[in-house]
Amino acid sequence: MPSPRLMGKHIQLVEYHLMTNQQRVLTTTFWPRPIAHVYTRRREHSNASFSADELSHFNALASTWWDASGPSRLLHKMNPLRISFIFDTIDQYALPALSRACGLQMLDVGCGGGILTESLARNPRVASITGIDMSEDVLAVAQQHKKRDPALVSGGKLEYRLCSLLDLPIPKPASEGQQEERYDAVTLFEVLEHVPNPSAVLQAATERVRPGGWIFASTVNRTAAAYLTTIFIGEKILKIVPEGTHTWSKYINERELREWFVEHKSNVPGSGEHWDIVRSEGCIYVPFVGWKFKGPRDLGNYFFAARRLE
Amino acid sequence: MGFCTRRATLRVRGGGAGLYRKHLLRPRFSSTLALESVRGGQSGTEKSATASSTYSAIASSLYDVVIVGGGLSGLSLAAGLKSSQYTSNLKIALVEGMPLASAKSWSPDPDRYSNRVSSITPASQRYLSQIGVWDHVYAERVQPYDDMRVWDGVSGARIHFDGFLLGTDDGTIAYMTENLNLQHALLSHLNDSPSDPPVMILDDTKVEAITKGQNFDDLDLSSWPALKLSTGDTIMARLLIGADGVSSPVRAFANIESRGWDYNQHGLVASLDMEWDDRQRIAWQRFLPTGPIALLPMPDGKASLVWSTTPKYAAHLKSLSASAFCTLVNAAFRLGMVDLEYLMSRVDEEEIREDFEWRDARLPIEAEGQQFPIRVVEVQEGSRASFPLRMRHCDTYVAPRIALVGDAAHTTHPLAGQGLNLGQGDVASLIRVVEKASQQGSDIGDEVVLQEYWAERYPVNHMMLGVIDKLQKLYCTDFPPIVGIRTVGLEVVESLDWVKKMIMKQAADA
């Protein structure tokens, strides 16, 4: 029996071949990296075969991912900003009649240990949420942590899946006698700068959003300032971010993301799909205060919201 | 799917690799089933049926918030959480060791006032109104004051805080009322305002032990505090609130260090009758080297005394006859330090009275008027009580799934009448934080969430505690150079309205 991972790769190759030529060309114009898996750095842990001390390793990881004063502290601190970004944007830009502002069906890509995913599952406006991640051990942490909250255990709103976005079957669109099954919102927080081919990931995300739905993302601009703050100061000097978390060359400029949507998703003839970039904001981490929307969106970290028009 | 889950769980217990296998296998080889569960909906019921049999067995003992302590902070917190649209759906339990029935059914006797009173700042009063509690307060038992006279017993330097400096409509500096009045109002409010689910009040119930919950296979409550109650029940809390006073058991469980020192003073309280009901709305405080004595107006010509003094004097004052005690209270506001010290050494009622009258008659004539409070004529029987005074401040107010409010987090000297108000400030802040977390979907017991409460309140409380502590130290001496410095300081402040206004605003908004 082939290992599941190999199977995943296989599916992906098939997907690549199924892409239209136009898609392939555009993919390679913007990010000249070969299309590949949604691939996180953390995945490397799981490449090792299972050993006797896997469980203790997993436990060690569990304790740091959710340790609010541990290496993931900045991620924990960013969570409220992510949540308000999502719901403030929906409230502000969607007409109440058009948006299903309550009972959202959501997909959290690159959910990690589930910091955002759990919050969304508890959020009264969310009807269901699926968290997907590529890393077995981190997803196991998420599964374990979910059990710490009876509301999540009994609520039935939260589901985790170990798979790449590209492997996730595209939900059925609405048709005669068929309910809309695509997501109301797909979140890609701190994901795009970790994947080798962000274009493919974005494309896959857009395919899974219903008309009128949303993509919420955050990533980092590929600027000298971002190198200085996120890598040099964050990882090397202050060490508030685990070393090796970021790779500067994988950062994505806000303008590039914007252009991707304009070129691929705005009035592309025949695609029948239109996307608007409705909001994009720079954010910074202020020590002792937390993450704030402040500063230009093309300098360091930024949040981004795009909406698929009805 | 149910089978799959169960098998995976068994494997984890067996060796550990099973959990990984579960994640590897399930999504890829049962994609149709997984897709259904992705969409929630129909698979939701199936899921909750298999997800946790433990959950359904223990659901009734799980609470979102468990408040230990049915005092003013604990009850305000429960009432506040229930009054907010974002937190009214929380399942709340309040555990109190004493019975609350008498406070709940309290109907005031016009001739008797409880000796436990509090000064409520306009900020605290606004908050209680906002959450709907103030409507249940017996208004005739509340005395606002808009004038405060504070003076130095050694040098006679005075400061006069006039409410009009605050620039508010009525210039109220604070409201005096019995703690019982507030407690009654809070309980009535909780009783009268229907909420779903209602606050579970477990009074006359002691917390025998606090431990951590259990890790079941399908539900991990090892981070949840579990409270073993004297009724034999055990309840578990997503967020455990310590509103349990100075010697907080919740704080001990959370291993939070409380630092500070004891003032070598006792606070003597008593309910007094004044010579007549002059309807002046003045609070009086005189700093004696043994500690400040304060006379706070209550309705109907009553007043409340808070006399901070040495433990020896406190014991002496409690042992005296009612009439001798009243004479000494009058003397403490009017006579010089030498005269007062002499009177405090006497025990005979008649001797004390005659001696006081003789000395009082020799006070300079300009000392009358509004320099002193009118005389005290009676002390309510059984209302004299004293307690040790101390300063305590916790290093932190929060731990995972734990938050401390009010006296559990900080204790201060009563000289500024801030004790209750600092607690109310904590409550309002914690509610804001819990509201925000509930609205967003964060876990309200998450330490990152709770840290925001601590970050907001610690500096405010620390400053207030520090200022009160310094004032206490500054005035607890008759060493001439210090007296000289503090006298000049007080006179400067007295001449600068904007400084007085700033001080009053600080005290009113705390």
pLDDT in tens, B263-281: 999 999 999 999 988 767 8
pLDDT-derived band at B510, boundaries 50, 70, 90: low
Residue B139 in tokens: 């208004």
**pTM given for the model:** 0.82
State how far the Cα of B188 lies from the Cα of B135, in Å rounded to an integer: 10
DSSP-assigned states of every residue in chain A: ---HHHHHHHHHHHHHHHS-HHHHHHHHHHS-S-------TTHHHHHSPP-TTHHHHHHHHHHHHT-TTSTTHHHHHHHHHHHHHHHHHHHHHS-TTTS--SSEEEEEET-TTSHHHHHHHHSTTEEEEEEEES-HHHHHHHHHHHTT-HHHHHH--EEEEES-GGGSPPPPPPBTTB---SEEEEEEET-GGGSS-HHHHHHHHHHTEEEEEEEEEEEE--SHHHIIIIIIIIIIIS--S-TTS--GGG---HHHHHHHHHHHHSS-TTT---EEEEEEEEEEEETTTEEEE-S-TTTSEEEEEEEE--
The answer on pLDDT for B44 being more than 50 is no
| Mean pLDDT (whole number) for B451-465 | 94
A83 interface with B at CB cutoff 8 Å: yes
Residues B144 and B8 in one domain: no
Chain B residue whose CA is closest to A58: B16
| Mean pLDDT (whole number) for B404-427 | 94
| Mean pLDDT (whole number) for B220-239 | 95
Which residues of A are less than 8 Å from B59 in CB distance?
Answer: 150, 154
pLDDT of residue A96: 56
A67 interface with B at CB cutoff 8 Å: no
Residues B42 and B187 in one domain: no
CB B35 to CB A171 under 8 A?
A: yes
State how far the Cα of A34 lies from the Cα of A42, in Å rounded to an integer: 20
pLDDT-derived band at B18, boundaries 50, 70, 90: very low
ipTM reported for the complex, 2 dp: 0.75
Q: Which residue has the higher pLDDT, B76 or B278?
A: B76
Which CATH number covers residue B438? 3.50.50.60
CB B48 to CB A118 under 8 A?
A: no
Nearest Cα of chain B lies from the Cα of A136 at a distance, in angstroms, of 6
Residues B17 and B37 in one domain: yes
Mutate to test the interface with B, among A83, A153, A183 (most CBs of B within 10 A): A153
Q: Is residue A8 part of a domain?
A: no
Q: Is residue A1 part of a domain?
A: no
pLDDT of residue A228: 80
pLDDT of residue B503: 87
Chain A residue whose CA is closest to B38: A130
pLDDT of residue B189: 95
DSSP-assigned states of every residue in B298-333: -STTEEEEEEEE-HHHHHHHHHS-HHHHHHHHHHHH
Lowest mean pLDDT among A239-243, B278-282, B425-429: A239-243
Q: pLDDT digit string (tens) for B131-154?
A: 999 999 999 999 999 999 999 999
pLDDT of residue A25: 36
Residues B70 and B101 in one domain: yes
Q: Which residue has the higher pLDDT, A73 or B203?
A: B203
Residues B117 and B22 in one domain: no
Chain A residue whose CA is closest to B53: A154
Q: Is residue B491 part of a domain?
A: yes
Domain tally, chain B:
2
Q: Is residue A191 part of a domain?
A: yes
| Mean pLDDT (whole number) for B6-13 | 34
Q: Which residue has the higher pLDDT, A61 or A207?
A: A207
pLDDT of residue A62: 54
Which residues of A are less than 8 Å from B48 in CB distance?
Answer: 154-156
Lowest mean pLDDT among A154-163, A191-200, B179-188, B482-491: A191-200
Q: What's the Cα-to-Cα distance from B404 to each of B76, B246, B395, B430, B436, rounded to whole Å?
A: 14, 11, 11, 9, 18
Helical packing angle, B419-440 and B122-130, nearest 10°: 40
Residues B474 and B434 in one domain: yes
pLDDT of residue B358: 92
pLDDT-derived band at B94, boundaries 50, 70, 90: very high
The answer on pLDDT for B379 being more than 50 is yes
CB B48 to CB A128 under 8 A?
A: no
Question: Which of B16, B28, B219 shows the shortest C-beta gap to A7?
Answer: B28
A54 interface with B at CB cutoff 8 Å: yes
The answer on pLDDT for B122 being more than 50 is yes
Nearest Cα of chain A lies from the Cα of B150 at a distance, in angstroms, of 39
Which residues of A are less than 8 Å from B451 in CB distance?
Answer: 68
Q: Is residue B328 part of a domain?
A: no
Range of the domain at A72: 38-308
| Mean pLDDT (whole number) for B446-451 | 92
Chain A residue whose CA is closest to B23: A162
CB B23 to CB A54 under 8 A?
A: no
Range of the domain at B28: 2-51
Counting residues of chain A whose pLDDT is more than 70, the rounded percentage is: 75
Chain A, chain B: beta-carbon pairs less than 8 Å apart: 124
Which residues of A are less than 8 Å from B443 in CB distance?
Answer: 118-119, 122, 149
State how far the Cα of B391 lies from the Cα of A263, in Å rounded to an integer: 66
Residues B186 and B43 in one domain: no
CB A83 to CB B440 under 8 A?
A: yes
Q: Which residue has the higher pLDDT, B439 or B507?
A: B439
Contacts of B473 (CB under 8 A, 6+ apart): none
CB A163 to CB B440 under 8 A?
A: no
Chain B residue whose CA is closest to A78: B448
Domain tally, chain A:
1
Question: Which of B16, B436, B446 shows the shortest C-beta gap to A54?
Answer: B16
Question: Contact at 8 Å (CB) between B140 and B113?
Answer: no
Lowest mean pLDDT among A222-231, B210-219, B378-387, B393-402: A222-231
A180 interface with B at CB cutoff 8 Å: no
CB A68 to CB B446 under 8 A?
A: yes
Mutate to test the interface with A, among B23, B64, B401, B439 (most CBs of A within 10 A): B23
Which residues of B are less than 8 Å from A126 in CB distance?
Answer: 441
Which residues of A are less than 8 Å from B17 in CB distance?
Answer: 50, 54
- What is the residue type of B390? R
Q: Is B229 helix (H, G, I), strand (E, B) or coil?
A: strand
Reference B250, options B389, B395, B397; nearest CA is B397
Q: Which residue has the higher pLDDT, B57 or B127?
A: B127
Give chain B's mean pLDDT: 86
| Mean pLDDT (whole number) for B296-305 | 93
Question: Which of A77, A144, A154 shows the shortest C-beta gap to B51?
Answer: A154
Q: Is residue B289 part of a domain?
A: no
pLDDT of residue A29: 35
pLDDT of residue B37: 31
State how far the Cα of B122 lies from the Cα of A150, in Å rounded to an integer: 40
CB B448 to CB A118 under 8 A?
A: no
Residues B131 and B219 in one domain: yes
Q: Is residue B131 part of a domain?
A: yes
Q: Is residue A12 part of a domain?
A: no
Mutate to test the interface with A, among B29, B37, B39, B88 (most CBs of A within 10 A): B39
Q: What residues 103-142 of chain A have any CB closer than 8 A to a CB of chain B?
A: 105, 118-124, 126-128, 130, 136-137, 139-140
Question: Which of A8, A120, A137 shows the shortest C-beta gap to B441?
Answer: A120
CB B40 to CB A157 under 8 A?
A: yes
Q: Is residue A114 part of a domain?
A: yes
Q: pLDDT digit string (tens) for A257-284?
A: 888 888 877 766 666 788 888 899 988 8
A77 interface with B at CB cutoff 8 Å: yes
Give chain A's mean pLDDT: 75
Q: Is residue A2 part of a domain?
A: no
Which CATH number covers residue A303? 3.40.50.150
Mutate to test the interface with A, among B440, B449, B456 (most CBs of A within 10 A): B440
Q: Is residue B405 part of a domain?
A: yes
Q: Is residue B70 part of a domain?
A: yes
Sheet holding B117-120, edge to edge: B117-120, B174-178, B143-145
Strand pairing partners for B387?
B267
The answer on pLDDT for A221 being more than 90 is no
Q: Is residue B375 part of a domain?
A: no
Lowest mean pLDDT among A7-11, A59-63, B240-244: A7-11
Which residues of A are less than 8 Å from B41 in CB distance?
Answer: 128
CB A153 to CB B219 under 8 A?
A: yes
pLDDT of residue A119: 95
| Mean pLDDT (whole number) for A183-202 | 88
| Mean pLDDT (whole number) for B359-371 | 73
Chain B residue whose CA is closest to A137: B20
Residues B122 and B19 in one domain: no
Q: Is residue A96 part of a domain?
A: yes
Q: pLDDT digit string (tens) for B166-189?
A: 888 888 999 999 999 999 999 999
Residues B66 and B129 in one domain: yes
Question: Which of B38, B48, B223 shows the shortest C-beta gap to A154?
Answer: B48
Question: Which of A123, A147, A157 shows the shortest C-beta gap to B219?
Answer: A147
Residue A66 in tokens: 């959710």
Counting residues of chain B whose pLDDT is more than 90, the rounded percentage is: 69
Q: Is residue B90 part of a domain?
A: yes
Q: Which residue has the higher pLDDT, A140 or A38?
A: A140
CB A153 to CB B35 under 8 A?
A: no
Mutate to test the interface with B, among A65, A152, A159 (most CBs of B within 10 A): A159
Which residues of B are less than 8 Å from A111 in CB distance?
Answer: none
Residues B9 and B67 in one domain: no
Residues B254 and B120 in one domain: yes
CB B28 to CB A126 under 8 A?
A: no
| Mean pLDDT (whole number) for B424-445 | 95
pLDDT-derived band at B100, boundaries 50, 70, 90: very high
Which residues of A are less than 8 Å from B441 in CB distance?
Answer: 83, 118-124, 126
Mutate to test the interface with A, among B5, B9, B20 (most CBs of A within 10 A): B20
